[in-house]
A = this chain, B = another copy of it.
């Protein structure tokens, strides 16, 4: 069997945040599967075939990619950000687990990417400088009770919280409910960043505090960062304000 499959992270923006390994794997692939807008970011050679699918068809995309690799092709599946974080790597491994035995024999390479929270954190300075957690607000695949339990645990643990998929079409009120829950558990002055389209030309970063967050500004392209009790803003004349979660806990200025 000569076929193989790679799952390649594109990072949250354009080429600057692509890794060298990702560029190499994309260049070697004969068939590239992905969500249409991600494929549109790539420059393909004439011998490469793009297979675009909708964002909701991750499992079917994974199965089609595995079937083609099992037939002998060099296949890549692309993912925005990091493929391991709420993205295509899990869909591919789930498909391998449930699929025919020959899929398990395929060489599989997951190539990491800059996840959205790392891109947003880079723009903001150092909001993830201390312990943090990442929670997807999409409840397509998990009940709201689990999301609420995790938000509560994240608040009790005083983690910085990164919220992914905050405006799922399946549950548009999730972000409203999530902020209601967080406001009941955390200080009103907790710093919050809404980082939209990070790394893209329409990037927009908004800094606010927990009591003032306008959830109407949060869409599916937004990564939300909610600070810990230690997180603070550092203002700079003529430069963007920074968001800092210091390395030292319990040593307020």
Residues of A within 8 A of B (CB): 11, 15-21, 23-24, 58, 82-87, 89-94, 96-97, 101, 104-108, 110-115, 118-119, 121-123, 125-136, 141-143, 146, 149-150, 152-154, 156-159, 234-239, 242, 244-250, 253
On whether the beta carbons of A105 and B154 are closer than 8 Å, the reply is no
A149 and B157: CB pair below 8 A? yes
Q: Which residues of B contact A130 (CB under 8 A)?
A: 86, 90, 136, 142
A98 vs chain B, min Cβ distance (A): 8
A41 → chain B, closest Cβ, in Å?
Answer: 14
Residue of B nearest to A248 (CB): B141
C-alpha gap A96/B128 in the complex (Å): 17
Name the one of B84, B96, B158 contacting A122, with C-beta atoms under 8 angstroms. B84
Structural contact, A17 and B112, CB atoms closer than 8 A: yes
**Whose C-beta in chain B lies nearest to the C-beta of A85?**
B128
B125, A93: Cβ atoms under 8 Å?
Answer: yes
Partner of A16 from the list B21, B106, B141, B156 (CB cut-off 8 Å) is B21
A92 proximity list for chain B (CB < 8 A): 126
Given contacts A111-B122, A114-B114, A247-B94, contact A104 B236 (CB under 8 A): yes
Q: List 22 A-B contacts (CB under 8 A).
A: A16-B24, A17-B21, A20-B20, A20-B23, A83-B122, A85-B118, A89-B129, A90-B246, A93-B129, A93-B244, A94-B244, A97-B234, A105-B236, A105-B239, A110-B125, A112-B121, A112-B122, A133-B157, A141-B249, A142-B250, A152-B157, A153-B154
